[in-house]
Structure 1
Amino acid sequence: MLDVRRLRLLRDLAHLGTIAAVAEAHTYTPSAVSQQLAALQREAGVRLLERAGRRVALTPAGAALVRHTEVVLAALEAADATLAGARAGLSGSVRIGAFPSAVRTLLPPALVALARDHPALDLMVTELDPVDVPAALRDRRLDVALLHDYDTVPVEPDRALDSTPLLDETVYLAVAAGTDPAADPIEGARHANWIVGSPGTLCHAVARHACQLAGYQPTVRHQADDFTAALALVAAGQGVALVPQLAVNQPPPGVRLLPLAIRRRTRVAYRKGAASHPAVAACVAALHATAAAFPGDDPPGRHDEPPPGGPPSAA
């Protein structure tokens, strides 16, 4: 019988790419991970890994086993959900992950509702970038998390996770007050300095992609992962920035918001098989109720009418 803990290590190697990364994720030593994978290979009776330069790669048999592992782990999650549903009452710890703008807006009302309706739940929130969400869910550091992508820069779904749509937002180009809006705001910012997220973040990728679609590379002057900081820099005349609707409820004075056709799409994610877990289902329901009360495509604060050609299109 194959050991589930060792199968999880093999699955994580497929996602993370190196034994060192798997060791760090599980707080093991690389040597311990290598020994466990070697033991799994002996159990399997076929070669699962092979050298690829200084790294290891999965053989076709190893890749096939990972696909089966995803099914096994999802079945275990579903079994746990069934047992949780058979218990009286809703209790236990629920670890929720969300990106900063959601922590400030969507999450607090949902937490209030959950505490009111399910007082025995122990709710713990972690703020993190969406790119870190899949690994945190796979590693069981989170149970429910918000992640997002943009319609112009879609993210490939993680096979270990399921998710449900939560919210679509307008994305704005934040410019200094007094800036004359162009028919195409991104084209109009061709010669502007840009404020973008750190490399590796979706915010960084979507800003660069938007400029590339307009036929130029942005001149990046500042990097800021916090939208409040980015808006403050815009207000100080330091450049322009892309900001989603959740981040612009109260923009600072001196900022003008130009709506774009770009949409940011937020989803609630959890491990495959966990959708029917009562605590997960309660979190998803509370988040959907909060999102349903979101004001839509006309946030409070300073913003402008859509540029000529009509309002931004929906994803």
Structure 2
Amino acid sequence: MLDPRKLLLLRELARRGTITAVAEAVTFTPSAVSQQLSALEREAGVPLLERTGRTVTLTPAGLLLVEHAQAVLEQLERASAALAAARGGPSGPLRIGAFPTATRVLLPPALARLSGAYPGLEPMVAEIDPADVSAALRAGELDVALVHEYDFVPPVTDASIETEPLFAEPMYLTDRARVPDARDDPWILSKPGTLCHTMAIRACQAAGFEPRVRHHIDDFDTVLAFAAAGQGVALVPRLAALAPPAGVALTRLPLSRRTHAAFRRGYGDHPAVRAAVAAFHTAATTLPL
């Protein structure tokens, strides 16, 4: 019988590429991960890994097992959700990940609704960049998360994660009427590696230029404060620009940011996750979009 916990390690190795990265994700030592994967090979009866020095790659049999591992792990998530539903209504800890704008605007009314409807539920919120959500969900660090995607940045698909659309919001440009008009301006972008940074770069490229980046700032309130101080132009979503500082003009663009709820595939019927997503939907209907 193949051990699902070892299958999870094999799946993470297929995604992360190194045993060290897998160990960091699951808070094991690299030695422990290697031992578990070696044990899985013995259980499978065929080589799953090919080791060349410090490099480890999956054999064709290993890749085949990863495909089946995803189906097994999804069924276990469904079983866990079904057992939780059999025990009763939503209760216990619920680990929620969210990006800062959603944490500030969407989560307070959603959490108030959850607390009123399910006093036994204990929501626990952690801010996280959407780019890191899939790994955190797969590792079991989060139960549900709010993620976003932008125009110009195709979503990264993950077979182990499901998403449910919540709402879309327009993007705004500070102090210019069109992106091409900001060709010669300094720009305020978020840090490289974030979806917002990639979106801004590609929006400028689509307008025919590379932005001259002066500042890297993730917090949109600070971005707008810098724009008000004449430090550059920026692209900001509607929910980050509800109360812009004096002196900042905002022009709505034909671009959008879309927010989704994300959870492990098969886990969406868990009572706590289902209650949270319903609360997100209700809170989204009150947003000034």
Which TM bucket (shorter chain)? over 0.9
Task: Determine the structure 2 residue equivalent to 1:170.
Answer: 170
Q: 2:194 aligns with which of 201, 215, 218?
A: 201
The Cα shift of 1:139 comes to 0.6
Tell whether 2:132 aligns with 1:132.
Answer: yes
- Superposed CA RMSD in Å reads 1.2
Q: Could you tell me how far apart the structure 1 residues matched to 2:266 and 2:63 are? A: 21
Q: Could you tell me how far apart the structure 1 residues matched to 2:168 and 2:245 are? A: 23
Q: Could you tell me how far apart the structure 1 residues matched to 2:206 and 2:136 are? A: 32
Aligned residue pairs, count: 289
Q: Could you tell me how far apart the structure 2 residues matched to 1:283 and 1:38 are? A: 39
Tell whether 2:113 aligns with 1:113.
Answer: yes
**Uncovered stretches (5+) of structure 1, i.e. residues with no partner:** 297-315
**Uncovered stretches (5+) of structure 2, i.e. residues with no partner:** none
Deviation larger for 109-118 or 148-157: 148-157
Q: Could you tell me how far apart the structure 1 residues matched to 2:219 and 2:14 are? A: 31
Q: Could you tell me how far apart the structure 2 residues matched to 1:51 and 1:229 are? A: 48
Question: What amino acid does structure 2 have at the position aligned with 1:24?
Answer: E
Q: Could you tell me how far apart the structure 2 residues matched to 1:56 and 1:260 are? A: 46
Tell whether 2:20 aligns with 1:20.
Answer: yes
Change (3 A) 1:237 1:52: farther
Cα deviations by residue, 1:233-279 (Å, 9 ceiling, x for unpaired): 11110001111111011111111111111111110001111111111
Q: Runs in 1 of length 4+ with deviation above 6 angstroms? A: none
Following superposition of structure 1 onto structure 2, how do residues 1-315 of structure 1 map, counting pairs within 5 Å?
1-51=1-51, 54-175=54-175, 181=177, 185-296=178-289
The Cα shift of 1:152 comes to 1.7
The Cα shift of 1:58 comes to 1.6
When the two structures are superposed, what TM-score results if normalisation uses the length of structure 2? 0.97
Q: Could you tell me how far apart the structure 1 residues matched to 2:138 and 2:208 are? A: 38
Q: Could you tell me how far apart the structure 2 residues matched to 1:157 and 1:139 are? A: 17
Q: Give the secondary structure class of the aligned counterpart of 1:137.
A: helix
Question: What amino acid does structure 2 have at the position aligned with 1:195?
Answer: I
The Cα shift of 1:53 comes to 6.9
Cα deviations by residue, 1:131-157 (Å, 9 ceiling, x for unpaired): 111011001110010111112211122
When the two structures are superposed, what TM-score results if normalisation uses the length of structure 1? 0.89
Cα deviations by residue, 1:108-163 (Å, 9 ceiling, x for unpaired): 00000000000000110001110111011001110010111112211122111111
Cα deviations by residue, 1:25-47 (Å, 9 ceiling, x for unpaired): 11111111111111111211122
Question: What amino acid does structure 2 have at the position aligned with 1:278?
Answer: P
Q: Could you tell me how far apart the structure 2 residues matched to 1:21 and 1:273 are? A: 25
